[in-house]
Chains A and B, each alone.
Chain A
Amino acid sequence: MSKADELRRKAKQRRFFIQAALVGLSGFAVAGAFMTARTNLEAQGLTSGFGFLERSTGWDYSFSLVEKSIMDPYAQTLFVGFLNTLFVGFIAIFLTTLFGFIIGTARDASNIAVKSAATVYVQVFRNIPLILQLVFLYAVLINLPGPRQAMSMADTFFLSNRGLMMPGLSVTPGVAVALLLASIVLGVVLIWNKQPLLRGLLIWMGGSILLSLIVAAIMRPEGEALVSIPSLQGLRFRGGITVPIELFGMIVAITLYGSAYIAEVVRGGLAQVPRGLTEAGQALGLSTGQIWSRIKMPMALRSIIPPLGNQWIFMMKATTIGVAIGFSDLFYIVSISITQSGQTLELIAILAGAFLLVNGGLAVFTNWLNARMELKAH
């Protein structure tokens, strides 16, 4: 056997031993953890398994999109937490993306005043920890005056220490969620159809609003106006939609922080569009708006979408800070459930599973979006 063959054989052997050791050690660690967990749990008199999910919880929490009671079983309460996480997450994703694109475009503007305002915004909100912003904002919100002295805007929006009261369509929460889903489906269909940017946005927003109005007109409860406006009656508000301060604080804090990040992503994408293309647009007599929507943004989107997807996933994960102000997101519900029921391992597994599912889904969506936007080879 030649020297080279000998060396190759030895290298192969070494690779085998390294891998066998790694697999063995991991297996040993998992088995050890499993055994220890069983002894520890037995010592505490806990039975493992998912049977506890059917027991009722016996405790209340702050926010739910559906009817809740302290008699609800754990499974239902956890599901409510999951819905709340998705609800806040998707609202935050929508608003941060909207404001992020506006502010990112402003960072790229030729007007000095607009550019400096956007720069100040980004530098302030990106450089303070999100949780500090949230706790700060929440402290301000709970110290606002009560409903009777609520700050009002045009007598339709009211902000008090009870939350934000705003006008809304007179529909039940179930119908509202269905409308939200319909709007998302419409958006996906428009992307799939490869609509031009501005026209797509207009069709999407116009379509969503029109659909909501039609459905609300048909489905509204007997004898109620199409749009209900909040008004002060005695000590509290009636009508309209009430956004509780926990939810309001979460949405505002995540939106301020996240949009500063997305603005930087958008600015980076716009900066990569060659100057010559903008100048070509100017030479053809296109307006600034046309250059933005027909030349710069379609080019920039290709480098914006991958990091944008990462920001969306970040936003979903950021909802866990709701626990700092008592907003009942999934993490909050899980941590209360752990102290109340002691089923730590099962609940952590549910929590991790839920996040893997949602973030995996978002990653798949981003990849799909990216593939739709990619230039096809000619």
Chain B
Amino acid sequence: MADISASAPPSPTTSIGATLRKRAFSSPSDTALTVIVFGILLWLAWTLFDWAILRAIWSAENVDQCGKGTGAGACWAVIDARHRLILFGLYPFDQHWRSTLAAVAIIATVILSCIPLMWTARRIVTLWIVGFATYYLLMEGSLIGLQQVTTDGWGGLSLTLFLFSSVVLLGMPMGLGLALMRRSKMPFVRGFAVVLIDFVRSLPLLVTLFTAAVVIPIILPSWLEGDKIWRVIIAFALFFACYQAEVFRGGFQAIPKGQFEAGAALGLSYWQTLGRIVLPQVFRHALPSTINMVVITFKETALVIIIGFFDIMASAKAAFGTGEWAPHYLEVYVFVALIYWAFIFSLGQYGEYLKGRMAISER
């Protein structure tokens, strides 16, 4: 039998040096891996920094002042020249302040919704209705005595934010309704919800939106048809609701049956038990997945370019598509990608943070 001699217990130090030794340079092959991978990362970061900052041209009278070819840096002058088109689309030029304020209202609504102080049913619903109404009144204008701009004239980032917020605002109650129907003891009500949810979920979003844009005018009488934008928003909200209903269903499954029975034993009605006891817990459980759904919805709004809306991607295309700035499509796409990335990354990180916090509180 091998002789096992006693040795000192491993020291519980967590100094940076010790961590690095363990997680970057633990063996020769580990060291080689670290050096190669970090080398590639650094090279990528440097190339990007060199292109986007060091050799970039920030403002230019016209496109000729930007360098051409592979040696040239980024020409951010294209953003300087075209940012109004990208952000506001075809909205009347002298009214852009309204579009700015309206976009700020939606962004503020989203940020405020992330604060736990707002998490009561009344506050969050009021917040979203106020935020959305502010947006609509400012953009449309005629109701508050400003120049009227119909939805055809909305575009760019503001339109993307409008689609996003109206889909979430309409889809959330629809999703809750579908989740409740799916839990119902009445076979026809449950069957209706199951068929609708599974059907919509197995179709691509584009097919749903396309159907709303081209099929609804055929099967609905013209007085019910409505604007194309509202048809698409309602179809998008239905899509959101069918996924969100599954998120709520997960939340319901986390609630012990005793909670319903306790409500019944106290003599509360179905709606009282639901509203006062069950739903607050369901929302809490469903919160991380709900944020995930909201993030996905924000990403998917980019699809509306295909059915002919002038959202931020379409306006980006228009920004370099007019000939003069055509060589600098890369800068425009990077700019739009950064906008999307900033929104989605921060919301996603917030979701992760909440998940972590809830995992701790449930230990």
Interface 9-mer from B105-113, B119-127, B204-212: B204-212
Would you list which residues of chain B between 307 and 351 have a CB under 8 Å from chain A? 313, 317, 329-330, 333, 336-337, 340-341, 344-345, 348
Contacts of B211 in A (CB 8 A): 348
Given the known A-B contacts A135-B313, A355-B203, are A128 and B40 also in contact in the complex, defined by CB atoms under 8 Å?
A: no
Name which residue of chain B comes closest to A314, CB basis: B204
Per-position contact with A for B180-200: 1 when CB-CB < 8 Å, else 0?
000001111100100000010
Bound form: Cα–Cα A41–B23 in Å: 69
Q: Is residue B218 contacting chain A, with contact meaning CB distance below 8 A?
A: yes
Bound form: Cα–Cα A331–B220 in Å: 23
Bound form: Cα–Cα A145–B207 in Å: 35
Q: Is residue B299 contacting chain A, with contact meaning CB distance below 8 A?
A: yes
- How many Å from the CB of B68 to the closest CB on chain A? 12
Indicate if the CB atoms of A111 and B30 lie closer than 8 Å: yes
Q: Which of A26, A127, A331 neighbours the largest number of chain B CB atoms within 10 Å of its CB?
A: A127
Interface 9-mer from B31-39, B78-86, B148-156, B256-264: B31-39
Q: Which of A15, A143, A317, A363 contacts B186 (CB 8 A)?
A: A15
Indicate if the CB atoms of A132 and B302 lie closer than 8 Å: yes
Per-position contact with B for A126-148: 1 when CB-CB < 8 Å, else 0?
11111111011001100100000
Indicate if the CB atoms of B344 and A127 lie closer than 8 Å: yes
Q: Is residue A18 contacting chain B, with contact meaning CB distance below 8 A?
A: yes
- How many Å from the CB of A369 to the closest CB on chain B? 18
Name which residue of chain A comes closest to B214, CB basis: A344
Q: Which of B37, B187, B330 contacts A114 (CB 8 A)?
A: B37
Q: Is residue A188 contacting chain B, with contact meaning CB distance below 8 A?
A: no
Q: Is residue A95 contacting chain B, with contact meaning CB distance below 8 A?
A: no
Name which residue of chain B comes closest to A34, CB basis: B219
Indicate if the CB atoms of A114 and B33 lie closer than 8 Å: yes
Q: Which of B24, B206, B214 neighbours the largest number of chain A CB atoms within 10 Å of its CB?
A: B206
Bound form: Cα–Cα A344–B218 in Å: 9
Contacts of A331 in B (CB 8 A): 204, 206-207, 210
Indicate if the CB atoms of B34 and A140 lie closer than 8 Å: no
Contacts of B299 in A (CB 8 A): 128-130
Q: Is residue B300 contacting chain A, with contact meaning CB distance below 8 A?
A: yes
Interface size on B, residues (CB 8 A): 53
Indicate if the CB atoms of B215 and A345 lie closer than 8 Å: yes
Given the known A-B contacts A127-B340, A129-B299, are A116 and B41 also in contact in the complex, defined by CB atoms under 8 Å?
A: yes
- How many Å from the CB of A26 to the closest CB on chain B? 7
Per-position contact with A for B37-59: 1 when CB-CB < 8 Å, else 0?
11011000000000000000000
Indicate if the CB atoms of B192 and A117 lie closer than 8 Å: no
Contacts of A132 in B (CB 8 A): 302, 313, 333, 336-337, 340
Q: Which of A19, A41, A136, A313 contacts B188 (CB 8 A)?
A: A19
Given the known A-B contacts A131-B302, A139-B333, A335-B210, are A113 and B218 also in contact in the complex, defined by CB atoms under 8 Å?
A: no
Indicate if the CB atoms of B341 and A127 lie closer than 8 Å: yes
Would you list which residues of chain A between 311 and 346 have a CB under 8 Å from chain B? 313, 317-318, 320-321, 323-324, 331, 335, 338, 344-345
Indicate if the CB atoms of A113 and B37 lie closer than 8 Å: yes
Q: Which of A15, A26, A133, A352 contacts B192 (CB 8 A)?
A: A26
Contacts of B202 in A (CB 8 A): 313, 355-356, 359-360, 363
Q: Is residue B303 contacting chain A, with contact meaning CB distance below 8 A?
A: yes
Name which residue of chain A comes closest to B219, CB basis: A33
Bound form: Cα–Cα A124–B340 in Å: 11
Contacts of A130 in B (CB 8 A): 299, 302
Would you list which residues of chain B between 270 and 324 have a CB under 8 Å from chain A? 299-300, 302-303, 305-306, 313, 317
Given the known A-B contacts A128-B340, A132-B336, A135-B333, are A317 and B205 also in contact in the complex, defined by CB atoms under 8 Å?
A: yes
Q: Which of B40, B192, B337 neighbours the largest number of chain A CB atoms within 10 Å of its CB?
A: B337
Contacts of A40 in B (CB 8 A): 217-219
Indicate if the CB atoms of B337 and A136 lie closer than 8 Å: yes
- How many Å from the CB of B250 to the closest CB on chain A? 13
Indicate if the CB atoms of A18 and B189 lie closer than 8 Å: yes
- How many Å from the CB of A334 to the closest CB on chain B? 9
Indicate if the CB atoms of B348 and A127 lie closer than 8 Å: yes
Bound form: Cα–Cα A324–B299 in Å: 16
Given the known A-B contacts A127-B340, A128-B341, A344-B214, are A117 and B37 also in contact in the complex, defined by CB atoms under 8 Å?
A: yes
Bound form: Cα–Cα A127–B217 in Å: 35
Q: Is residue A37 contacting chain B, with contact meaning CB distance below 8 A?
A: yes
Q: Is residue B221 contacting chain A, with contact meaning CB distance below 8 A?
A: yes
Contacts of B206 in A (CB 8 A): 320-321, 323, 331
Bound form: Cα–Cα A258–B175 in Å: 26
Indicate if the CB atoms of B23 and A117 lie closer than 8 Å: no
Indicate if the CB atoms of A317 and B204 lie closer than 8 Å: yes
Contacts of A18 in B (CB 8 A): 186, 189
Contacts of B186 in A (CB 8 A): 15, 18-19
Q: Is residue B146 contacting chain A, with contact meaning CB distance below 8 A?
A: no
Q: Is residue B358 contacting chain A, with contact meaning CB distance below 8 A?
A: no
Indicate if the CB atoms of B207 and A22 lie closer than 8 Å: no
Indicate if the CB atoms of A111 and B340 lie closer than 8 Å: no
Would you list which residues of chain A between 15 and 59 have a CB under 8 Å from chain B? 15, 18-19, 22-23, 26, 32-34, 36-37, 40-41
Pairs A–B under 8 Å by Cβ, sample size 16: A36-B221, A110-B26, A112-B20, A113-B37, A114-B34, A128-B344, A129-B300, A133-B337, A136-B333, A139-B330, A320-B204, A320-B207, A323-B206, A345-B215, A348-B211, A360-B202
